[in-house]
Amino acid sequence: MDIYVSNLSPYVANEDLINQFSKFGVVNSANVIFDKFTNRSRGFGFVNMPNDAEAQKAIQEMDGSSVEGKTIAVSKARPREERPARSYNNNQW
């Protein structure tokens, strides 16, 4: 199950998420999302846990907990919403 983690401190790394969530079971992967231009954390990430029961327990226990001094929000990840492609018209600039 993919888990969405938000309100992360800019100092949280992938390894930190693995350490926090591995208390509840096996963690396949953890990925903090970074801005591609500034290379700074965007304040959210994803954790993948293969066992749904362990993932649900992690969501319940970790939601509202404090990591690196910030209260995080944890929920089941939802599929990304399709957004219309941006079109830039040179006449509008």
61: region left, alpha or beta (phi > 0 left; psi from -120 to 50 alpha): alpha
d(CA 64, CA 73): 6
Residue type for position 90:
N
Q: Supply the pTM of this predicted model.
A: 0.84
pLDDT of 92 over the 80 cut? no
> Residues 12-21: what's their mean pLDDT?
96
**Domain ranges for the chain:** 2-78
Count of helices and strands (H, E) across the chain: 2, 6
State residue 16's pLDDT score: 96
Residue whose token pair is 């994803």: 46
**pLDDT at position 90, please?**
58
CATH fold group of domain 2-78: Alpha-Beta Plaits (3.30.70)
